[in-house]
Amino acid sequence: MENIQLAALGVVLQVMKEGRNLNQVLDEAQSQSWMPAQRAALQDLSYGTLRYYGQLCALLELLLKKPLEEERVRCLLLVALYQLQYSKAAQYAVVNHAVRAVRTVNARFGGLVNAILRNFLRNQAALLVQAAHSKSGRYSYQAWWMDMLQAQYGEASLAILDAGNLHPPMSLRVNHRRITTEDYLAQLNLQGIPARIIAPAALQLEKPVAVNKLPGFSEGLVSVQDAGAQYAAQLLAIQEGMRVLDACAAPGGKTAHILECTQVELVAVDKDALRLERIAQNLQRLNLTAQLIHGDAADPQAWWDGLPFQRILADVPCSASGVVRRHPDIKWLRRKKDIASFAAQQLDILRALWPLLARQGKLLYVTCSVFQQENQQVIARFLELQADAQRLDIAIPEQLFPDDQHDGFFYALLEKKQF
């Protein structure tokens, strides 16, 4: 266990002190010789420590008599506190392995690590109450994040914060070109994988499983996609034969869903060449075809052929504040100034894409954010600037908050007027 603890402290340290992406650091940290169970354990410790980082820091501050300057030891203690509070590992094993692990980091802290972890176990209930006296200790977000949500949603913001700390559900999108949702559910049942239907093409698993355990995954029967993300294809109301643009398309889940629903001429654009390759791989697995273009949605004149699109999906870059339960590092890496920067970029993309839309065509604006500055305010400003744009009603709430079925998304459907 101490090897996993050591690896996890390294991951947490690189995310929090160097501002690196959690998944990239995890990929580098996992030894090729590790068993799947060890990789899963490292992911759990890294994700969990970052998910509850605010609370764990508050607990550690209560347990320390003076600030701990050795950052590697501090991160090891945070990882061990996460294990003691949230994992099913034996408490004595967590403490003993942490004491062994710290010898590799700085042997003189062995006694301190032992004392702090045992003190936590003796006074766990009282310490948790004390830690919750601060908002960061209670909700585990940066202060500006909590303040911004409070200003926008009032008391409802607390439920949004709590939902962002839950483990996300695993949802599947059934490929209706190949199989019905009911028939695929039957295949899952035969494999002993409990699931339920939550939307026409969406299934939610009772417990997450590896994709190689999903029947027919490699043959393209099903894909992993959040149920909230699956609304995009539905809201676009695409008809057969239309010319459709998926801007900012990577990793291609919505691209594939559109093609699974309707036979269209689809152009998928993304400025990240590596992520564009992921779209190609997904389409190949699903036996679907689209024109893939390496380009910037904010600069379509560099790649557009001049032919209008009847539908445009603008799934724009954003803070990803609606998907933090899948990416807990975002809670700590984002800065308040980033929100205004994203909003400006989003408006630029909208204005750049609008000339590509045919008259009476529809553009669907999508973010995975819960901040109004990136959502309602961007749309309101765009409508002020664009006289031939009108907003249409949609069949779902414009703002989806993370819950037991989906992540947080914002949807706005715009139509280009005839004149």
CA angle 144–134–321, rounded 5-degree value: 35
Residue pair 315/366 in contact (Cβ under 8 Å)? The answer is: yes
Is the bond leading into 251 cis (omega within 30 degrees of zero)? yes
How far is Cα 383 from Cα 14, in angstroms, rounded to an integer?
A: 42
Bridge pairing between strands 309-315 and 243-247: parallel
Contact (Cβ atoms closer than 8 angstroms) between residue 314 and residue 247:
yes
**DSSP tag of 109:** G
107: buried, middle or exposed (CB in 10 Å: 19+, 13-18, 0-12)?
Answer: exposed
* Catalytic residue from among 57, 248, 318, 368: 368
Q: Which amino acid is at 380?
A: A
CA–CA distance, 142 with 387 (Å, rounded to integer): 39
How many residues can be counted in the chain?
419
Q: How far apart are CA 67 and CA 319, in angstroms?
A: 32
Helical ranges in 313-416 per DSSP H: 330-333, 336-353, 376-385
Contact 278, 252 (CB under 8 A): yes
Q: Is the dihedral of CA 332, 325, 24, 59 positive or negative?
A: positive
Question: How many CB atoms are closer than 10 A to CB 98?
Answer: 27
Q: What are phi and psi of 117, to 5 degrees?
A: -70, -40
Q: Quick check: is 368 catalytic?
A: yes
What is the CB-side half-sphere exposure of residue 2 using CA atoms within 13 A? 13
Helices 71-86/124-131 angle, 10° precision: 110
Placement of tokens 């994700």 in the chain: 47
Query: β-strand 195-199 against 409-416: which pairing, if any?
Result: unpaired
**Active site residue ranges:** 368
